[in-house]
Structure 1
Amino acid sequence: MANSLNIVFAGTPDFAAKHLAALYASEHNVIGVYTQPDRPAGRGKKLMPSAVKTLALNNGTAIYQPASLKNEEVQQQFAALNADIMIVVAYGLILPKAVLDAPKLGCLNVHGSLLPKWRGAAPIQRAIWAGDKFTGISIMQMDEGLDTGAVLLEKSMAITGAATSATLYEDLSELGPQALIETLENLENLSPSIQNDDEATYAHKLSKEEARIDWSLNAQQLARNVRAFNPWPVVWFTHNDESIKVWQVEVVEAFDVLPEGTIVNVDKNGIEVATSEHNLLLSNIQIPGKKAQSVADIINGKPDMFVVGQRLA
């Protein structure tokens, strides 16, 4: 697009802030920023601004932090900005029709999956969890559905076998701003692609309970869980009445059929545990009150903590 656009941006975490930074560096004008209200954080539970708010403050942009966009007064305030377009990235609030319809060119969303796959809250994590080989960024024209709007542009990338949600998040936070700026530059020439609802999958939110190891799953799935739930909520299991977090694992061949959850071997390489298919080697774990450590370091100090033949809960 030849002319610069007057943009209202809506987003909250660091992932969104990287897209906002790209807009500040472009020819376009960011005339307002919406982000979620400050939240308590840290041991003191002090109210902390979002990454998006911090960046907007540094750039002198007007900031709006409504708890909801359903209020008529909030909607009128938004409409008065007279934006050409709204860009939404991991904002966390539902946009009602009055907001969707207010900007002249509508609202665009940057979504961390190749739509219609993994609509919803946790697309990056679910792609790893499911064993997908590829993911990417979709720039979507927003409608009243949940990530159901027509897609204007997609950028794909491979998911490596070592990728965690943390590393994939970083990769997509580099790809997303590039895709967004490309979309804005070519907005007049892009043809919206209607999503096929029959191919849609939903990326449910993660929970701490889901991250608890179920040894009846196969080792491949458990290894994907470890990568998908890093850095949150982190895979864990209970041993000697303690919750132990698991940060790094490896799938190894099983030579004997043992009950699921049985410790097969313990050495400097890790704790080898039987699953429903293959064994899982836990190489880096975190016991309560400690930082994540290699199993070699832990068994040096506590050689009897894990014993061959024990069955983990």
Structure 2
Amino acid sequence: MSRPLRVIFAGTPDFAATSLAALLQSRHQLAAVYTQPDRPAGRGRKLTASPVKSLALEHGLPVRQPETLKSTEAQAELAAFEADIMVVVAYGLILPQAVLDIPRLGCLNVHASLLPRWRGAAPIQRAIEAGDGESGVTIMQMDAGLDTGAMLLIKRTPITAATTGGELHDELAQLGGEAIVEALDALAGEGLAATPQPEAGVTYAAKLSKAEAELDFGRPATELAAKVRAFNPWPVAWCHLGSERLRLLMAEVGTARDDEPGSVPGTLLAPDADALRIACGARGDEVLRVTQAQLPGGKPLAARDLLNARHERLHPGHILGQTNEESA
């Protein structure tokens, strides 16, 4: 058997910690772990270690948290670990070319999309939002571009009409861990063929923002349903419920009834037994069927439980998306 590789791991969030856990179970040797500096978190804004740092410390691994890797001092420290390869998963720092050149086999990235589709910051959510039928992870040889390096290994998984951003995140995190171990095993042996990314099919996954989570019920039902699922659990799709906000957590395309000729977009229609039904589309003749939502100050509930609560603003005819002033 070929000798294990000596690895530097660089990552920060839960998604990256799953890959680190897989490497800890592999035959490869972790020389050091790089992660973002501790950040304030929670109501008390207490400095909190990243999930990657917490896992690394549990296993007694050396941890480094530089603010940048652009300094010659930081690069010299990294080089001193004498790693064969550097594995990067949602690290959060740009790696200059000087760093990419340090490990003998360069730097690999675990990217949560089927490149070249969805390069960039939010590939998981953008794939669902766009209505893609599948996603996956790509193990990529890093270069100086934004997710432009050659592809070494791809694993795929379907996106269904019920897949949420959180579910796809967890699925791709597991696939990423499996894929990076498989890639390192191959590189330690006979190697892997590097396939340049095609120029056709390139898309960019812009960073998510809370502002874009507000729903416009004038949009088509298919678009709105995909957005609700994509933004669960963050930033969470929402609409105005009078002066408050109703958070929408699960939704699908519904069917208009014969006695529903079209309404103002956002109008609550007669509900199903287990769903809120909202008029949407440019003419208000499409239906968004919401099966899970969250009232202000409450917890996430199935729509049937919201309906049983008989909230005064969840009756047919009320228009969601309007403030009290607009509906007056």
Coarse TM-score class (shorter-chain normalised): over 0.9
Aligned to 1:251: 253
Quote the offset at 1:304 in angstroms: 2.3
Aligned to 1:286: 294
Q: Which secondary structure state, in structure 2, belongs to the residue aligned with residue 198 of structure 1?
A: coil
Aligned to 2:115: 115
Identity of aligned residues (%): 51
Quote the offset at 1:296 in angstroms: 3.1
Higher mean C-alpha deviation, range 2-11 or range 20-29: 20-29
Aligned to 1:236: 238
Aligned to 2:173: 173
Q: Which secondary structure state, in structure 1, belongs to the residue aligned with residue 269 of structure 2?
A: strand
The one-letter code matched in structure 1 to 2:178 is Q
Structure-1 separation of matches of 2:246 and 2:203: 31
Q: Which secondary structure state, in structure 2, belongs to the residue aligned with residue 189 of structure 1?
A: coil
Aligned to 1:189: 191
The one-letter code matched in structure 2 to 1:30 is L
- In the alignment, structure 1 segments of 5+ residues that lack a partner are none
C-alpha change, 1:268 and 1:303, in structure 2 (3 Å) is: farther
Quote the offset at 1:300 in angstroms: 3.2
Q: TM-score scaled to structure 1, two decimals? A: 0.96
> Deviation string for 1:142-194 (max 9, x for gaps)?
00000000001111111122111111111112111111111111124311000
Asked if residue 102 in structure 1 is aligned to residue 96 in structure 2, the reply is no
Structure-1 separation of matches of 2:166 and 2:153: 24
The one-letter code matched in structure 2 to 1:243 is R
The one-letter code matched in structure 2 to 1:304 is E
Q: RMSD of the alignment, in Å?
A: 1.4
Question: Mapping of 1:1-313 within 5 angstroms?
Answer: 2-187=2-187, 188-255=190-257, 256-266=261-271, 268-276=273-281, 278-313=286-321
- In the alignment, structure 2 segments of 5+ residues that lack a partner are 322-328
The one-letter code matched in structure 1 to 2:195 is S
Q: Which secondary structure state, in structure 2, belongs to the residue aligned with residue 312 of structure 1?
A: coil
Quote the offset at 1:259 in angstroms: 2.0
Quote the offset at 1:268 in angstroms: 4.0
The one-letter code matched in structure 1 to 2:197 is Q
Q: TM-score scaled to structure 2, two decimals? A: 0.92
Q: Which secondary structure state, in structure 2, belongs to the residue aligned with residue 137 of structure 1?
A: strand
Q: Which secondary structure state, in structure 2, belongs to the residue aligned with residue 93 of structure 1?
A: coil
The one-letter code matched in structure 1 to 2:191 is N
Q: Which secondary structure state, in structure 1, belongs to the residue aligned with residue 148 of structure 2?
A: coil
Structure-2 separation of matches of 1:99 and 1:303: 57
User: Between Structure 1 and Structure 2, how many residues are aligned?
Assistant: 313
Structure-2 separation of matches of 1:164 and 1:294: 16
Quote the offset at 1:267 in angstroms: 5.5
